[in-house]
Amino acid sequence: MVISVTVLGRNRSLKVQGKIGHGCCAFLLDTGASRSIIRPDYIGDQEITEANSYTLKTASGELIPVLGQVKLNFEIQTQPFCHEFLIANVTDECILGLDFMQAFGLSLNMVNGTLQYANMEIPLLEEDKGYGQARRILLVEDTTIPAQSECILWGKVEGHCKTISTKLVETARGTENSLAVGKTLVVSVGDRKVPVRVMNLYSQENKLRAGSVIADCYPVDLITQCRDAEGSTNTVAKESAQIHKILTKMEENLSMEEYNKAEKLILEFMDIMPCDEDDCGRTNLVQHRIDTGSARPIRQPPRRLPLAKQQEAIDMLERMKQQGVIEPSNSPWCSPVVLVKKERWDFTVLC
């Protein structure tokens, strides 16, 4: 089934304010969309079902893949609703289509700017005409920034803003207030106040008056979290192989109940388990120190290692050096290295 989705101009996008779970959401009303759609980052841990028979198609003919469908409980102006949405990566947070309006008997009153439901009138939030343009951020109160110092100032977004929106803060163009502005994402609510991270780069203090332009902000439609997929996959595969190796060794010595408990414990703390012999963790939160006082240093003479063990000792010391376990030293205290054979026929170092 091919479902059409109307792409409205920003100055004609009508929204109502609501909540999904504990988070706020601006619902776009689109009578040109035959099904309601929601972005995947707004569904939380709700159960998702397949929707292979659906395909989203915009007015320009572009196809949007459907990731599934979900049934959600949400609120519009404290009025509870429950409806089924298709999941897709669209620009708007949530689109209430014709199916939702027909199911609940909703109608748009464009004269009064309201969404009518039963005997209720829900006010519409019409996007500002200058939505896609940069806005200036004005300083709220007089401030003095010390020389070569960093601080966070409170600014106010210029103009009118009726909706809760995410904005990108950047250095204001054409300003000469000697400020470096940290590029950050902020959420603008009804009072339009946003924090701005600034730094005075000069060797003298900078006095700013209330109402001064301290930054510009731009609207943000979609935030995507990116990560190194290849590196993450390799790490997970490496950890899984090591854990499987550990569990295989334990299996023959444990009962089924003990094995299941051990497996659960290892999987729970997998992030602190070593992946291989070279994965050696350590902490620098605590430093060990031995107070020898005025005692004379003890320097034990080295013992000659058998020829068969010499290369093994060299390799182990080099590996420990690369791991950061040991480091070169010229201390007057000295004790020889002793190689001890373990049960699995390899060697360990005793110092």
Q: Reading across the β-sheet that carries 107-109, which strands appear in turn?
A: 107-109, 114-117, 120-123
Q: Highest mean pLDDT range out of 186-195, 230-239, 256-265, 282-291?
A: 256-265
Q: What is the pLDDT of residue 108?
A: 85
Q: What is the pLDDT of residue 129?
A: 43
CB contact burial 53-75 (16+ within 10 A = b; e otherwise)? ebebeeeeeeebebbbbbebebe
Determine which of 117-126, 173-182, 218-227 has the lowest per-residue pLDDT on average. Answer: 218-227
Phi-psi region of 122 (alpha: psi -120 to 50; beta: other; left: phi over 0): beta
Question: Is the pLDDT confidence value at 153 over 60?
Answer: yes
Instruction: Give residue 107's Cα distance to chain centre.
Output: 38
Q: What is the pLDDT of residue 12?
A: 41
What's the DSSP call for residue 12? G
Give the amino acid at 144. T
Contact indicator for 88, 35 with CB cutoff of 8 Å: no
Q: Nearest 10 degrees: CA dihedral of 314, 319, 322, 327?
A: -50
Higher pLDDT, 163 or 44: 44
- Mean pLDDT for 38-65 is 78
List the structure tokens of 154. 């409170």
Determine which of 205-209, 221-225, 292-296, 346-350 has the lowest per-residue pLDDT on average. Answer: 221-225
Q: What is the pLDDT of residue 77?
A: 76
Q: What is the pLDDT of residue 18?
A: 83
Question: Is the pLDDT confidence value at 301 over 70?
Answer: yes
Rounded to an integer, what distance in angstroms lies between the CA atom of residue 190 and that of residue 280? 51
Higher pLDDT, 351 or 125: 125
Pairing of β 338-341 and β 206-208: unpaired
Q: What is the pLDDT of residue 258?
A: 87
Question: Is the pLDDT confidence value at 231 over 80?
Answer: no
If pLDDT is split at 50, 70 and 90, which confidence band does 84 have?
A: very high
Nearest Cα to Cα of residue 130 among 11, 17, 220: 11
Q: Nearest 10 degrees: CA dihedral of 100, 104, 109, 110?
A: 0
Question: Is the pLDDT confidence value at 184 over 50?
Answer: yes
Question: Is the pLDDT confidence value at 226 over 80?
Answer: no
Q: Report the mean per-residue pLDDT for the chain.
A: 77
Q: What is the pLDDT of residue 253?
A: 82
279 backbone dihedrals φ, ψ, rounded to 5°: -85, 90
Q: What is the pLDDT of residue 191?
A: 73
Contact indicator for 273, 243 with CB cutoff of 8 Å: yes
Question: Is the pLDDT confidence value at 131 over 50?
Answer: no
- Mean pLDDT for 108-130 is 72
Contact indicator for 134, 143 with CB cutoff of 8 Å: no
Rounded to an integer, what distance in angstroms lies between the CA atom of residue 138 and that of residue 209? 10
| Share above pLDDT 70 across residues of the chain, in percent, rounded to a whole number | 75
Rounded to an integer, what distance in angstroms lies between the CA atom of residue 154 and that of residue 172? 15
Rounded to an integer, what distance in angstroms lies between the CA atom of residue 137 and that of residue 116? 36
Determine which of 5-19, 162-176, 197-211 has the lowest per-residue pLDDT on average. Answer: 5-19
pTM: 0.38
Rounded to an integer, what distance in angstroms lies between the CA atom of residue 150 and that of residue 197? 7
- Mean pLDDT for 38-57 is 80
Q: What is the pLDDT of residue 346?
A: 60
Contact indicator for 173, 104 with CB cutoff of 8 Å: no
Q: What is the pLDDT of residue 174?
A: 60
Question: Is the pLDDT confidence value at 300 over 80?
Answer: yes
Rounded to an integer, what distance in angstroms lies between the CA atom of residue 84 and that of residue 37? 9
Question: Is the pLDDT confidence value at 261 over 80?
Answer: yes
Rounded to an integer, what distance in angstroms lies between the CA atom of residue 100 and that of residue 108? 13
Rounded to an integer, what distance in angstroms lies between the CA atom of residue 76 and that of residue 123? 10
| Share above pLDDT 90 across residues of the chain, in percent, rounded to a whole number | 6
List beta partners, residue 308: none
- 154 Cβ partners below 8 Å, 6+ apart? 139, 140, 141, 193, 194, 195, 196
Question: Is the pLDDT confidence value at 10 over 50?
Answer: no
